[in-house]
A = this chain, B = another copy of it.
Amino acid sequence: MTYHAIEWCPGADGKPVVRMIDQRLIPEQLKTLDYIDFEAVAAAIRDMVIRGAPAIGLAAGYGLALAAVRGPDDPGCLRETLAQAAATLRAARPTAVNLGWALDRMLARLSDPALATADALRSAAVTEAQAIDAENLQMDLDIARNAFPLIPDNANIYHHCNTGPLATGGYGTALGVICYAHEQGKQVHVFVDETRPRLQGARLTAWELQQMGIPFTVVPDGASGHIMRTQKIDLCIVGCDRVAANGDVANKIGTYNLALAASAHGVPFYSAGPSSTVDLATPTGGDIPIEMRPPEEITHISGVRITPEGASVANPAFDVTPAARLAAIITERGVAYPPFTESLARLMGGK
């Protein structure tokens, strides 16, 4: 990869910083920002400098490492700072599951009473954040390798939203699958759903595919049925925000419509993501609450008003694709095929 959504690296003063690509500027500009305190990292998460659930988890982990490295020398005071930093980071985007998960993991490690000095705490915090980073990357690679046999050569692939290195801070999930196939020498072309309202496909996925040298075509979300009717599409692959025990998949709004088009044209539809998104405690997609996002994402584009003043809009962030529309769910643990109730339980058995 030639770019990193987030990195732990030395800053201008030689001390470590958290360096992030400002994703709000992609594709116009590739600009990185260096963060030296946890409050600014929390603000970056809140303001969507970084987005994508796994990438947000990484940012929280590194944010806490920053609090440790730059915090007071007294271990008691440092522990207090860390607790405060974790609370601030957690509040940045309260609905992001990975954010809480990464912070809990960091705090569990740092609660070890054997970490008696500030240096010991600092070292443990940095090591743990880097471990999350490394495991995250490995997970993405395992997803890509598990999916590899499902991608034919000369594949015409349909993709929705953004699931690349920008979204995971690693190798990407669905886009990682595509990238891996490309790197292994398979010819691929990607149809990129632009993904209204936030246009993550048109802005981020198109940019990432350019970086990877993979040919692609951006299309409005409403065009997938037409494209599938008039061209040979080999498969669709998307990410997942939550997978229910029965295989229903919650993902970015528009995923279900793409799955319906795929289904009408016999195109296999895959969802790829870390096994942490498989939630066996959620029986079906009907049990997944759907976040409603601010109306401004619909009423305005790049600050320009689209709808009339006073127009009522609905902005559901996710939809649920019923298990029956999915050919497989791909995780780092392996590939689950229908019937998903059995295959997912088996896959998650060792959890």
Residues of A within 8 A of B (CB): 26-28, 191, 193-197, 199, 202-203, 206-207, 210, 215-227, 229-230, 253-261, 264, 290, 298-299, 301-316, 318-320
Closest 8 CB pairs of A and B: A222-B254, A27-B308, A226-B319, A225-B256, A196-B220, A302-B304, A221-B222, A218-B313
Flag if B260 contacts A264 (CB, 8 Å): yes
User: Which of B225, B253, B303, B307 interacts with A257 by CB under 8 Å?
Assistant: B225
Given contacts A301-B304, A319-B229, contact A195 B222 (CB under 8 A): yes
Given contacts A221-B221, A254-B220, A305-B28, contact A312 B226 (CB under 8 A): no
Chain B residues in 8 Å Cβ range of A199 = 306
Flag if B223 contacts A314 (CB, 8 Å): yes
User: Which of B196, B226, B304 interacts with A221 by CB under 8 Å?
Assistant: B196
User: Which of B207, B223, B298, B304 interacts with A319 by CB under 8 Å?
Assistant: B223
Chain B residues in 8 Å Cβ range of A196 = 194, 196, 220-222
Report the nearest B residue to A322, measured CB to CB.
Answer: B229
Report the nearest B residue to A301, measured CB to CB.
Answer: B301
Closest CB in chain B relative to A320 CB, distance in Å: 7
Report the nearest B residue to A197, measured CB to CB.
Answer: B220
Closest CB in chain B relative to A29 CB, distance in Å: 11
Chain B residues in 8 Å Cβ range of A314 = 191, 217-219, 223, 227
Q: How far is the CA of A259 from the CA of B222 in the complex (A)?
A: 11
Report the nearest B residue to A258, measured CB to CB.
Answer: B222
Most buried by B among A260, A299, A310: A260
Q: How far is the CA of A222 from the CA of B290 in the complex (A)?
A: 15
What are 29 sample pairs from A and B whose C-beta atoms fall under 8 A apart?
A26-B308, A28-B305, A193-B222, A194-B298, A194-B307, A196-B196, A202-B306, A202-B307, A203-B307, A206-B308, A210-B310, A210-B311, A215-B312, A217-B312, A218-B314, A219-B298, A221-B254, A222-B222, A222-B253, A222-B255, A222-B319, A223-B316, A224-B257, A225-B257, A225-B260, A226-B256, A260-B260, A301-B302, A302-B304
User: Which of B26, B194, B302, B307 interacts with A302 by CB under 8 Å?
Assistant: B302
Chain B residues in 8 Å Cβ range of A259 = 225
User: Which of B194, B225, B311, B313 interacts with A306 by CB under 8 Å?
Assistant: B194
Closest CB in chain B relative to A24 CB, distance in Å: 13
User: Which of B221, B224, B298 interacts with A202 by CB under 8 Å?
Assistant: B298
Q: How far is the CA of A28 from the CA of B299 in the complex (A)?
A: 12
Chain B residues in 8 Å Cβ range of A223 = 253-254, 257, 314, 316, 319
Closest CB in chain B relative to A271 CB, distance in Å: 15
Report the nearest B residue to A259, measured CB to CB.
Answer: B225
Flag if A221 contacts B220 (CB, 8 Å): yes
Closest CB in chain B relative to A296 CB, distance in Å: 12
Other CB < 8 Å A-B pairs besides A194-B306, A225-B257, A302-B306, 14 of them? A194-B298, A203-B306, A217-B312, A219-B315, A220-B253, A221-B222, A222-B254, A223-B316, A225-B260, A226-B319, A229-B319, A257-B261, A260-B264, A301-B304
